Chain A
Amino acid sequence: MTALLKLEGVVAGYGRGDILRGIDLELEEATITCLVGPNGAGKSTVLKTLSGLLRPREGTIVLAGEEISRCSPAELLARGIVHVAQERSLFPLMTVWDNLLMGGHILRERPLVRKRAEAIAERFDLVRDRRDERAGALSGGQQKLVEIARALMLEPRLILMDEPTMGLDPKARHLMFEMVAQLNEEGRTVLLVEQNARAGLAIAHHGAVLDNGCVALTGPGKSLLDDPRVAELYLGGAPAAA
């Protein structure tokens, strides 16, 4: 297996503080990697650094042999990295369809954007059935699904997903994990941040545990699940024991 993405000694943060204090991480092509860790460990910051929202202060990020740590969000999108943010990130007053078209913003050719949008509408019943509704009128789970559909407009190689199941009910959560697995089966690489460590690690090939801005542990997802150190770091001793 080859590494699609490689982070070495990445330091990043806001204002005067560093949140990431030297992240080393490799993502293998066509795998799911799940990033877990306690609140404030820097999981979301890793994703923001990868999607260009935040410039790393030190370290290198290499995508398929090419250094990308200085790229703008648009350049990273063009290289096939999309970021599905933690917050609701649809444009609530725009229609589902327009939201989808926004996903192809960096593709300038109108017919191509339209063709891809039609293909996605074929794949997602939700998009097809409610294309002219305002995105803000959809439920939380539906919005998340549209966000993912929108991310597919660029046919990305690497999808960054920040807590896609946050605030979803169990059924929608289940659907979301199925979606992640499906994307992976199509050959896409997924970097997933998940609050729900058990479910996240269960579907991931690889796991990485973040603590205080550094990667504390890595390993196959399933084995991390059973690692007592993870429980201690993340889940807290008491409830995990129950």
Chain B
Amino acid sequence: MSAALLEIEGLTKRFGGVTAVGDCSFSVPEGSVTALVGPNGSGKTTAFNLITGYLRADAGAIRFAGSSIRKPNPVSLARRGLTRTFQQARVFPDLTLVQNMVAALQQPWRAALRRAVRKPEQARALELLEEFGLARLAEERAGNLSYGQKKLLEFAAVLMADPRLVLLDEPTAGVNPLLVDQIEQRIRDLNARGLTFLLVEHNMNLVMRLSDPVVVLDHGTKLAEGSPDVVRTDPRVLEAYLGG
């Protein structure tokens, strides 16, 4: 297995008296599609929010691409190549699809007064939208999209800035089966081109087909970690996940 792109060690977060994530450690190998699974309420999304700096951890260390991240902050992480999507697809509803895509391109300050959408950026956005089957809606307001299409758009947009690691929070939740296939195919293609993924997903079929390794969380701590086959046959996982 190749070197870890992202390493999490001893991550802990308590809300009031409840430990949402407790002493959780795992790593995401470079070039992998790593899955983070576990029953509802096991702390997956909280872990995501801690890693991406949307929540401040009580304890724990995060290393990304060889350097340790002391105070994770979404802006600087995104600019270093670690980006994420949200469980409820989040797009900018009043902007067009193309504008949504271009807004995701990280700009230096000196470019602030350049035209909002420049020709090469437009071309790049259209190319990605085409890959995601959204090109014909390019000038539509994002707010007019269906839920599944918003998920696709959000996914496409985070790719604009050529990230190294993408965290997908339930990429297929609430999406119809046709779009699920499409999302799966996109993840495969992009992974083949070298992009690393960490995904939280409830659709176990998809996880088992797509991911290696699989990290299982239960009550905020890591229960098991390994290839799908290993995890699937682990009795503890069965008990936690399927309710034995």
Residue ranges of A at the interface with B (Cβ–Cβ < 8 Å): 17, 38-40, 136-137, 139-140, 163, 166-167, 169-170, 173, 195-196, 198-199, 212, 235-240, 242
With a cutoff of 8 Å between Cβ atoms, the chain B residues found around residue A235 in the complex are: 204, 242
- Contacting A242 at CB < 8 Å: which of B39, B174, B219, B238? B238
Interface membership of chain B positions 110-147, coded 1 if the CB is closer than 8 angstroms to chain A and 0 otherwise: 00000000000000000000000000000000000011
Residue of B nearest to A19 (CB): B174
Q: Are B232 and A242 in contact (CB under 8 A)?
A: yes
Q: Are A169 and B41 in contact (CB under 8 A)?
A: no
B203 interfacial by beta-carbon distance below 8 Å: yes
- Alpha-carbon gap, A240 to B232, bound state (A): 10
- Contacting B232 at CB < 8 Å: which of A136, A167, A238? A238
Given contacts A137-B17, A140-B18, A166-B40, whether A198 and B203 have CB atoms under 8 Å apart is no
Residue of B nearest to A198 (CB): B243
- Contacting A196 at CB < 8 Å: which of B174, B219, B243? B243
- Alpha-carbon gap, A212 to B241, bound state (A): 23
Q: Which of B193-213 contact A (CB under 8 A)?
A: 202-205, 208-209
B223 interfacial by beta-carbon distance below 8 Å: no
Q: Are A195 and B205 in contact (CB under 8 A)?
A: no
With a cutoff of 8 Å between Cβ atoms, the chain B residues found around residue A40 in the complex are: 173-174
B108 interfacial by beta-carbon distance below 8 Å: no
Q: Are B40 and A195 in contact (CB under 8 A)?
A: yes
Cβ of A240 to closest chain B Cβ, rounded Å: 8
Given contacts A198-B242, A239-B208, whether A39 and B202 have CB atoms under 8 Å apart is yes
- Contacting B41 at CB < 8 Å: which of A139, A167, A242? A167
Q: Which of B52-83 contact A (CB under 8 A)?
A: none
Residue of B nearest to A140 (CB): B18
Q: Are A236 and B204 in contact (CB under 8 A)?
A: yes
- Alpha-carbon gap, A147 to B19, bound state (A): 21
With a cutoff of 8 Å between Cβ atoms, the chain B residues found around residue A39 in the complex are: 173-174, 202-203
- Contacting B40 at CB < 8 Å: which of A167, A170, A239? A167
Q: Are A136 and B242 in contact (CB under 8 A)?
A: no
- Alpha-carbon gap, A170 to B223, bound state (A): 14
